[in-house]
Amino acid sequence: MKISTLEADLKSRAKAAFSLDDEALSSFALAAPPPHIKADASVAWPISAAKLLKRPPLKIAAELKAAFGAELEPEAVAPGFVNIRLPSAQLFSALKELERPDCYKRPEFAGEKINLEFVSANPTGPMHLASGRGATLGDSLARVWKELGAEVATEFYVNNVGRQVEKLGLSLKARLEGKEPPADGYQGDYLKDTAAALPKEAAGWTDAQFSEYAVSEMLKLHKADMQAFGVKFDRWFLESELHEAGGPRAALETLKSRGMTYEKEGAVWFGAASELESDDKDRVLVKADGRNTYFLNDIAYHLNKFSRGFTRLIDILGADHHGYVPRMEAAVKALGSEKGTFKVIIHQQVSLLRGKEVVKMSKRAGDFISLKELIDDVGTDACRFFFASRGPNTHLNFDVELAKKKSNENPVYYVQYVHARICSIFDNAPAKGVDPAASFDEAKAAINPEERALMLKLLWLEKTLADCARDNSPHHLTTYLTELAALFHSFYDKHKVLDPADKETSAYRLFLLKAVKGVIARGLGFLGVSAPERM
């Protein structure tokens, strides 16, 4: 029985015992108790229900204990918890259920069709560290949501239209002519390589041709970076596609038809700010000279997403986009979308450290360290695990020296080593006289505290994935995997696995370690990190 199944069963018992509706039980949840509590799971609902039921929490807990039944050995404890202990048969059954590919699917995600846009770096230079953090965040969340049962389409929006692209073309042209780029252009040395590879006929190109070529080459670099980073986008959406399809015009007409625009001083304005209580001021959609603003183009892009049948849109953006959130929330609502169908996740900056020293600059990229440089230095696995280790709202200090260590100090090494160690145990079993595929009698298995802790931790991955989805962050996974690795080490330091004199215990422990290995591999997979068999 999965944790979610058990939780639903206990919630149903509470509903019947107290004659309550689903809303009154909305806060009912199973949670893992702290280590010093000798229990497998805990319910704190009596504390939140005290006001509703007009009874002391401990009295409600006593009534809930009676509703749970004796099989779970429930115990009511102050100030209003009910702790339970799972029968051994349930633990073994639950571990077997983890082997099913769809074991983490949850009904609330069925039918969800999510468009997840992330990275979307301007094609004006190499990807930087913030791009790597955004890529980790988006790709990991996509994997988690898919595992939970949602349909997810990942997207990279390419801003290949506008003034920045024009500046890139002029900068490339200057490099070809042996000049320095314009003061407001792109100064990084990476354009020297691009200029050196230009065809001979480039000397006669127009400025627009330089821009088109530069974007094309930068996009090749971006795609190569993402491939090396283990990130695959379902679609690279070019802004030029949006304009060719008349997207901005359609978006403007939609807003006009809903009474969300007005004209002033020759410009067209989005005037829904005060009405929708999101943005703090009205915004220009079309300038007096007839040119669209980036705001209108962004609205058109989101209207395009909704037109493709997505039920939820999620944008992952860097820390310099805070001002974007309220205006787009207001705009998406003005398009007629329901509350909760659009979400912007902002992730904070990354500082690169070598020990205590801050790494400030890259000669190749200009004024930043490129993602490729970091991947080449520490590897994709360390990059992704470290980027995922903090919630998006938290500034991240990335210690390069720690990421390169081949020791338990390095958290990704610490977790990967468990998987490799268990693979080694299975490889060595035949030589030790133990059949790695042997069965055992579950009823005779004596579960010690370290084994029980491992079993229970394996069951809580389901809740961890739900936490990642709820908080829009994979950092719960890195914490979970580190804690699971620590429990394995605690077990392995105290107990022998391969013992030819006790084949029954060996078979039981190999069954347990197979489950640990599987969960480690799946958990790392959600983060886009490999699970090596040897280290």
Q: What is the pLDDT of residues 466-495, one digit of tens each?
A: 999 999 999 999 999 999 999 999 999 999
Q: Does the pLDDT value for residue 443 go beyond 70?
A: yes
Q: Using an 8 Å Cβ cutoff, are 383 and 169 in contact?
A: no
Binning pLDDT at 50, 70 and 90, where does residue 279 land? Answer: low
For range 293-303, the mean pLDDT: 96
Helices (H) and strands (E) in the chain, counts: 21, 15
- In angstroms, the CA 158 to CA 135 distance is 15
Residues 378-390: pLDDT tens digits?
999 999 999 999 9
Binning pLDDT at 50, 70 and 90, where does residue 176 land? Answer: very high
Length of the chain: 535
- In angstroms, the CA 404 to CA 106 distance is 37
Q: Does the pLDDT value for residue 508 go beyond 90?
A: yes
Single-letter code of the amino acid located at 115? N
For range 178-185, the mean pLDDT: 93
Residues 518-534: pLDDT tens digits?
999 999 999 999 999 99
Q: Does the pLDDT value for residue 36 go beyond 90?
A: no
Q: Does the pLDDT value for residue 154 go beyond 80?
A: yes
pLDDT on residue 298: 96
Residues 232-251: pLDDT tens digits?
999 999 999 999 999 999 99
Scan for tokens 């491939």, then name that residue: 227
Say if residue 500 is preceded by a cis peptide, omega within 30 of 0: no
pLDDT on residue 26: 94
Is residue 431 helix, strand or coil? helix
- In angstroms, the CA 316 to CA 131 distance is 10
pLDDT on residue 304: 97
pLDDT on residue 274: 45
Scan for tokens 């939609």, then name that residue: 254
For range 42-55, the mean pLDDT: 96
Percentage of the chain surpassing pLDDT 70? 97
* CA 307 to mean position of chain CA atoms: 25
pLDDT on residue 248: 97
Q: Using an 8 Å Cβ cutoff, are 287 and 293 in contact?
A: yes
Q: What angle do CA 337, 338, 342 make, to 5 degrees?
A: 75
Domains of the chain: 3-86 (3.30.1360.70), 110-244+348-378 (3.40.50.620), 411-526 (1.10.730.10)
* CA 309 to mean position of chain CA atoms: 23
For range 82-103, the mean pLDDT: 95
* Average pLDDT taken over every residue of the chain: 94
pLDDT on residue 278: 53
Binning pLDDT at 50, 70 and 90, where does residue 280 land? Answer: low
Give pTM, 2 decimals. 0.93
Q: Does the pLDDT value for residue 367 go beyond 70?
A: no
For range 70-96, the mean pLDDT: 96
Between 91-100, 310-319, 360-369, the lowest mean confidence (pLDDT) is in 360-369
Q: Does the pLDDT value for residue 276 go beyond 60?
A: no
Burial class, 114, CB count within 10 angstroms (exposed 0-12 / middle 13-18 / buried 19+): buried
pLDDT on residue 277: 54
Q: Using an 8 Å Cβ cutoff, are 114 and 314 in contact?
A: yes
